[in-house]
Structure 1
Amino acid sequence: MGKKKSRNKTPKKRVPYGIVCMLKTDIHDHLLYRIKLQCFRELINALGYTILKTVIQTRKYPKSSTLFGKGKVEEIRQLVKDLDIDTVFVYNTLSSSQKHNLTRAFGCEVLDRYEVTLKIFEINAADTLSKLQIKLAILEKLAPYIKLQASLRYKKERAFFRSMGEYAYHKKLAMLKKSIKIVK
Structure 2
Amino acid sequence: MEIENIEDKEITKAILVGLNNTGKREKIDIEVSMEELEELAKAAGAQVLATAIQSRPAVDVTYFIGKGKVEEIKELCENLEANMVIFNDELSGSQIRNLEEEIGVDVIDRTALILDIFAQRASTKEGKLQVELAQLKYRMPRLIGLGRQLSQQGAGIGTRGPGEKKLETDRRHILKRIDDIESELKEVRKNREVQRGKRSKSEIPIVALVGYTNAGKSTLMNTLLKLSDHHDDTKEVYVEDMLFATLDVSLRRLSFPDKLDFILTDTVGFVSKLPHALVNAFKATLEEVKYADLLIHVIDASNEEYNLQKDTTLGVLNDLGVENKNIITVYNKIDKISDEALLPKEENCIHISAVTHKNIDVLIEKIRAEIGPDIIEVDLLIPYDKGNLLSSLHKEGIVLSTEYVEGGTQVNARLENMYYHKYEPYKLN
Q: Fold match, TM over 0.5? A: yes
User: What are the superposed Cα offsets for residues 99-134 of structure 1, whole Å, 9 maximum, x if unpaired?
Assistant: 121122222211111111111111111110111011
Contact conserved, 1:136 with 1:180, CA < 8 A, in 2?
yes
User: What are the superposed Cα offsets for residues 131-168 of structure 1, whole Å, 9 maximum, x if unpaired?
Assistant: 10110100111112214567xxxxxxxxxxxxxxxxxx
Identity %: 30
Q: Check if 1:16 corresponds to 2:12.
A: yes
Pick 1 or 2: higher relative contact order, CA cutoff 8 A, min separation 6.
1
Superposed, 1:50-61 pairs within 5 Å as 50-61=47-58
TM-score, normalisation: structure 2: 0.33
Cross-structure match for 1:26 = 22
Residue of 53, 59, 65 corresponding to 1:68: 65
Contact conserved, 2:84 with 2:107, CA < 8 A, in 1?
yes
Provide the C-alpha distance between the structure 1 equivalents of 2:139 and 2:130, rounded to a whole number of angstroms. Answer: 14
Provide the C-alpha distance between the structure 2 equivalents of 1:93 and 1:149, rounded to a whole number of angstroms. Answer: 13
- Residue aligned with 1:137, SS: helix
Further displaced range: 174-183 or 20-29: 20-29
Provide the C-alpha distance between the structure 2 equivalents of 1:66 and 1:75, rounded to a whole number of angstroms. Answer: 13
Further displaced range: 52-61 or 97-106: 97-106
TM-score, normalisation: structure 1: 0.75
Residue type of the partner of 2:171? L
Residue type of the partner of 2:179? K
User: What are the superposed Cα offsets for residues 67-105 of structure 1, whole Å, 9 maximum, x if unpaired?
Assistant: 111100111111222222121010011112111211222
Cross-structure match for 1:176 = 174
- What is the RMSD of the two structures over their aligned residues, measured on CA atoms? 2.3
Q: Structure 1: 5+ residue runs without aligned partners?
A: 1-12, 151-170
Contact conserved, 1:16 with 1:50, CA < 8 A, in 2?
yes
Provide the C-alpha distance between the structure 2 equivalents of 1:181 and 1:147, rounded to a whole number of angstroms. Answer: 21
Provide the C-alpha distance between the structure 2 equivalents of 1:36 and 1:147, rounded to a whole number of angstroms. Answer: 29
Provide the C-alpha distance between the structure 2 equivalents of 1:148 and 1:99, rounded to a whole number of angstroms. Answer: 6
Q: Check if 1:131 corresponds to 2:152.
A: no
- Residue aligned with 1:43, SS: helix
Residue type of the partner of 1:181? D
Residue type of the partner of 1:123? Q
- Residue aligned with 2:143, SS: helix
More strand by share: 2
- Residue aligned with 2:39, SS: helix
> May I ask how many residue pairs the two structures share in their alignment?
152
Contact conserved, 2:92 with 2:145, CA < 8 A, in 1?
no
Change (3 A) 1:112 1:148: closer
Superposed, 1:95-110 pairs within 5 Å as 95-110=92-107
Larger radius of gyration: 2
Provide the C-alpha distance between the structure 2 equivalents of 1:149 and 1:41, rounded to a whole number of angstroms. Answer: 23
Residue type of the partner of 2:34? L
Contact conserved, 2:93 with 2:146, CA < 8 A, in 1?
no
Superposed, 1:134-145 pairs within 5 Å as 134-145=131-142
Change (3 A) 1:56 1:149: closer
Q: Structure 2: 5+ residue runs without aligned partners?
A: 1-8, 148-168, 183-429
Residue type of the partner of 1:176? I
Residue type of the partner of 2:175? K
Contact conserved, 2:18 with 2:52, CA < 8 A, in 1?
yes
Shift of 1:179: 2.0
